[in-house]
Amino acid sequence: MNVSALPRPPSSRRVLLISLSVLLIALMLGMEQLAPLFRALFPDQDPAMYQRESFLNLTLAHLALVLVSSLISVSVGVAAGLFVTRPAGREFEPLVSTLAAIGQTFPPAAVLAIVVPIAGFGFVPTLVALVLYGLLPVVQNTVAGLGTVPSQTLEAARGNGMNAWQILWRIELPLAMRVIIAGVRVSVIINIGTATIGSTVGAKTLGTPIIAGLVGNNLPYVIQGAVLVGLLAIVTDLAFERLEQRFSFGESGKA
């Protein structure tokens, strides 16, 4: 999981991030231009290019779903992680960890099956499934990250006259941030992939061409959707890697 430990100079990671981002944007805007290529590769498929919706719209809808679900997962997850590491909430730690774990054990498809009858088809049930699914890594890493702050550091903070808020904002959160961001990274990457199944209940995502391709036995559709989802996940992962490094405080690349 710790990609940043790879023995690669950071500058080449940046080049990779930039070139993959360019590729992603190009495909998002101009997938349709590749129609001749797909026709040549799959002469028996007609049509060989998904055309019911533009890939730009699909990608933006996909991103919107991931963004909203991740925002909820992260706010709820970090808040829960903070709560159970404060003196007042310490006894709830096992309960919260268990709940978050259950959220992840539940297959997203099962969550969809339960939520669709209640909330109907489309965006909302997918959102619920993604939020539940993305919660665990955030909660876990928030608790773990706050746990890595040495007790001597906390004692020094208290001894120098910081109050509980100052200790949290100036010491604990910055020191835990790397681990928390790693949790958010896992959560968001999982959600980018998992969001595709939202298309089974009618949410507009990059899963839509994939599902259509699977149902209609059209491999080009599957490839067109999957390539964009894959690129989106890799670019996001590389971007998070750079974000994590901002909280390394002079220890370049050390976890």
C-alpha torsion sign, points 70, 73, 78, 81: negative
d(CA 177, CA 144): 11
| Contact present, 85 and 99 (Cβ < 8 Å) | no
For residue 163, the minimal CB distance to another protein (Å) is 5
Backbone angles phi, psi at 78, to 5 degrees: -65, -40
Q: Give the burial string for 108-144 (b: 16+ CB within 10 Å, else e).
A: beebbeebbeebeeebbbbbbbbbbbbbbbbbbbbbb
Indicate whether 255 belongs to the interface with another protein (CB under 8 A): no
Indicate whether 252 belongs to the interface with another protein (CB under 8 A): no
Q: Which is nearer to another protein, 171 or 227 (CB)?
A: 171
Locate 176 and state its tokens. Answer: 């835990």
Give the one residue of 1, 22, 41, 156 binding another protein; rule: CB under 8 A.
156
The region of 6-14, 38-46, 101-109, 152-160 touching another protein under the rule CB under 8 A is 152-160
d(CA 204, CA 157): 49
Indicate whether 171 belongs to the interface with another protein (CB under 8 A): yes
The region of 9-17, 130-138, 171-179, 224-232 touching another protein under the rule CB under 8 A is 171-179
Q: How many amino acids of this chain bind another protein (CB under 8 A)?
A: 21
Q: Which is nearer to another protein, 90 or 170 (CB)?
A: 170
Give the one residue of 6, 7, 43, 163 binding another protein; rule: CB under 8 A.
163
d(CA 121, CA 185): 28
Give the one residue of 31, 112, 138, 175 binding another protein; rule: CB under 8 A.
175
For residue 244, the minimal CB distance to another protein (Å) is 14
Q: Which is nearer to another protein, 131 or 149 (CB)?
A: 149
Q: Is the peptide bond before 87 cis (omega within 30 degrees of 0)?
A: no
Would you tell me how many other CB atoms lie within 10 Å of the CB of residue 182? 24
Give the one residue of 21, 45, 97, 166 binding another protein; rule: CB under 8 A.
166
Give the one residue of 155, 215, 242, 246 binding another protein; rule: CB under 8 A.
155
Give the one residue of 8, 26, 71, 249 binding another protein; rule: CB under 8 A.
249
Locate 251 and state its tokens. Answer: 């220890």
For residue 168, the minimal CB distance to another protein (Å) is 13
Q: Which is nearer to another protein, 46 or 251 (CB)?
A: 251
d(CA 225, CA 243): 27
Place of tokens 């950071």: 10
Indicate whether 159 belongs to the interface with another protein (CB under 8 A): yes
Number of H helices and number of E strands within the chain? 11, 0
Indicate whether 174 belongs to the interface with another protein (CB under 8 A): yes
Residues of this chain that interact with another protein (CB under 8 A) are 150, 152-153, 155-163, 166, 170-171, 174-175, 247, 249-251
